[in-house]
């Protein structure tokens, strides 16, 4: 490619970003992986007591879901078939998960480590206090659940993907350690690993009629109750005992916080202040605030560009001139990739990234910044039946009058392990 063509590529990239972000400055460019700062372990680490928290497989979920119907296995098989699900397929994945969990436990026991095996529904504060380290045996969802209850930043949390073929496991050890877990233990003992400190989000709740009682969305699914009914159980008690000062909620967000109406077709109405700036009335389909860890997850997919959108913008603005005549695919890739990479930042960075989903902008409602980095976000609810959901698993009622202050604190960092392949 000639120097002039390359210059044109850069020019078109900048023009495309200007079109897409006329009302806000361009997001700071952060290369993927460039900010993944982790400290080399100074010595080996061998815990004496380890809690292994296991996920609920889909097979177990279906069994629990119909537990009150007293279905036989044959009845369950027929019911799953009616829904287009394979009973044998679910059972096979369940068995794979179970064998890998057994492998983890046996490997720990052979090293003389005391093990406590805990189902996700039994995972509680007492388990956390008992353990020197906690292993999440499942996928990213199980890792998020495990992390939410750990408040000691010196307590390591490891994730092992127990079904790599069907589960992502970005927060887990490399997939080869699923079957070679003894090797992972030996590397930990020899200090052949790095500590990865992951920043997390803390939440203070205040205002009129707030309800700080959490709802486990996974358990709520099994109960077959509507989400708002689950929250209403303690609403009146909470209203009569409104908190006089900000209340620190007993969870920490490793990936993201989402605020919005429970009914997704209803617009969410709220006021927002970023970094102690002026309050702004907004209506949108919800608000997401993520950490560096979560910047590759939901937040990334909310904000990312696809090549089709970039192509359409460039067609309109540039009329297929300049570098598009020489290398259209290269130009599309450059613009799309550069923008999308700017959405990702390191897990250890003490800042958050907020995203206003599909803001409604008119004479009454504005959205001066649809997305951006922040150190502090305050949200006042004007919603009817809204929730504040932490990492997709724990929900708090967040209706008219409730105020959330969303920040980070060094004491909330999560200590995780990086092992090379």
87-110 helix and 73-82 helix, angle to the nearest 10 degrees: 120
Count Cβ atoms below 10 Å from residue 335 Cβ, excluding itself: 26
Residue 213 to residue 215: CA distance in whole angstroms: 7
Residue 355 to residue 365: CA distance in whole angstroms: 16
The pLDDT assigned to 243 comes to 52
The pLDDT assigned to 23 comes to 35
**Torsion angle in degrees (nearest 10) through CA of 92, 98, 100, 104:** 180
Bridge-based pairing of strands 133-138 and 156-161 is: parallel
Task: State the DSSP code for 265.
Answer: T
Distance of alpha carbon 175 from the chain centroid: 20
The pLDDT assigned to 310 comes to 80
The pLDDT assigned to 325 comes to 54
pTM for the model: 0.80
Residue 239 to residue 334: CA distance in whole angstroms: 53
- What the block records as the tokens of 411 is 């004491």
Closest CA relative to residue 210, chosen from 421, 390, 396: 396
Task: State the DSSP code for 272.
Answer: E
Backbone phi, psi, residue 50, to 5°: -130, 130
Q: What order of strands is seen across the sheet that includes strand 414-418?
A: 39-40, 194-198, 414-418, 156-161, 133-138, 49-54, 114-119
The pLDDT assigned to 237 comes to 43
What's the burial of 234, exposed, middle or buried (CB within 10 Å: 0-12/13-18/19+)? Answer: middle
Q: Which residues of 129-157 are buried (b: 16+ CB within 10 A; e: fewer)?
A: eebbbbbbbbbbbbbbbbbbbbbebebbb
What's the burial of 204, exposed, middle or buried (CB within 10 Å: 0-12/13-18/19+)? Answer: middle
User: Taking the domain 49-192, which CATH number applies?
Assistant: 3.40.50
Domain boundaries, the chain: 49-192, 201-296+345-414, 301-343
Which string of DSSP letters, residue by residue, matches 41-78? PSS----SEEEEEEPPPHHHHHHHHTGGGT--HHHHHH
User: Which residues are within 8 A (CB) of 379 and not within 5 positions of it... i.e. 6 or more apart?
Assistant: 259, 270, 271, 272, 273, 287, 403, 404, 406
Residue 191 to residue 348: CA distance in whole angstroms: 21
- What the block records as the tokens of 76 is 């369950």
Return the CATH superfamily for domain 201-296+345-414.
Probable inorganic polyphosphate/atp-NAD kinase; domain 2 (2.60.200.30)
Going along 242-385, which residue ranges are E strands? 247-248, 256-261, 268-274, 280-284, 287-290, 352-356, 371-374, 377-381
Bridge partner residues of 253 (DSSP) = 201
- What the block records as the tokens of 150 is 């750990």
Going along 139-245, which residue ranges are E strands? 156-161, 194-198, 201-207, 215-216
Which mean pLDDT values do the consecutive 10-residue runs of the chain (421 residues) have? Answer: 39 41 39 49 85 94 78 86 89 95 97 95 94 96 93 95 89 94 94 94 87 76 52 44 74 95 92 95 95 94 87 66 59 82 93 94 81 96 93 92 95 92 73
The pLDDT assigned to 274 comes to 96
Residue 358 to residue 300: CA distance in whole angstroms: 15
User: Which residues are within 8 A (CB) of 65 and not within 5 positions of it... i.e. 6 or more apart?
Assistant: 221, 222, 224
The pLDDT assigned to 238 comes to 43
User: Which residues are within 8 A (CB) of 36 and not within 5 positions of it... i.e. 6 or more apart?
Assistant: 196, 346, 347, 348
Bridge partner residues of 118 (DSSP) = 53
Residue 421 to residue 419: CA distance in whole angstroms: 7
58-65 helix and 87-110 helix, angle to the nearest 10 degrees: 120
The counts of H helices and E strands in the chain are 13, 20
Q: How many residues does the chain have?
A: 421
């Amino acid at each position: 490619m000639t120097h002039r063509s390359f210059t044109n590529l850069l020019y078109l990239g900048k023009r495309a970003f200007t079109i897409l972000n006329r009302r806000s400055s361009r997001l700071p460019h952060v290369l993927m992986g460039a900010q993944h700062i982790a400290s080399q372990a100074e010595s080996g680490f061998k815990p004496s007591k380890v809690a292994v928290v296991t996920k609920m497989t889909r097979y177990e979920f279906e069994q629990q879901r119909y537990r009150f119907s007293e279905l036989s296995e044959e009845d369950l098989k027929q019911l799953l078939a009616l829904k287009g699900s394979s009973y044998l397929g679910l059972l096979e994945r369940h068995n794979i998960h179970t064998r890998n969990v057994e492998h983890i436990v046996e490997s720990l026991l052979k090293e003389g480590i005391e093990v406590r095996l805990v189902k996700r529904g039994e995972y509680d504060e007492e388990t956390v206090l008992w353990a020197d380290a906690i292993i999440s045996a499942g996928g990213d969802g199980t890792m998020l659940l495990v992390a939410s209850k750990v408040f000691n930043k010196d307590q390591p949390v490891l994730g092992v993907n127990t079904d790599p073929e069907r589960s992502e496991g970005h927060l887990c050890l490399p997939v080869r350690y699923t079957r070679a877990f003894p090797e992972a233990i030996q590397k930990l003992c020899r200090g052949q690993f790095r500590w990865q400190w992951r920043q997390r989000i803390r939440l203070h709740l205040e205002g009129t009629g707030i309800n700080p009682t959490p709802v486990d969305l996974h358990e709520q699914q099994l109960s077959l109750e509507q989400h708002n009914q689950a929250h209403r159980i303690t609403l009146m008690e909470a209203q009569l005992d409104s908190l006089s000062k900000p209340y620190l909620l007993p969870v920490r967000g490793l990936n993201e916080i989402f605020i919005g109406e429970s009914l997704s077709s209803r617009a969410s109405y709220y006021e927002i202040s970023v970094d102690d700036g002026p309050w702004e009335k907004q209506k949108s389909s919800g608000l997401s605030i993520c950490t560096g860890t979560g910047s590759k997850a939901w937040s990334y997919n909310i904000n990312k560009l696809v090549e089709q959108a970039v192509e359409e913008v460039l067609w309109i603005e540039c009329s297929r001139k300049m570098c598009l005549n020489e290398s259209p695919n290269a130009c599309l890739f450059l613009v799309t990739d550069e923008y999308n990479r700017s959405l990702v930042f390191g897990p250890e960075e003490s800042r958050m990234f907020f995203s206003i989903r599909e803001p409604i902008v008119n004479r009454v409602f504005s959205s001066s910044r649809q997305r951006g980095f922040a150190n502090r976000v305050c949200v006042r609810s004007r919603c009817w039946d809204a929730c504040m959901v932490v990492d997709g698993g724990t929900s708090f009622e967040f209706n008219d009058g409730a105020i959330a202050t969303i920040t980070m604190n060094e004491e909330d960092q999560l200590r995780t392990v990086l092992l090379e392949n």
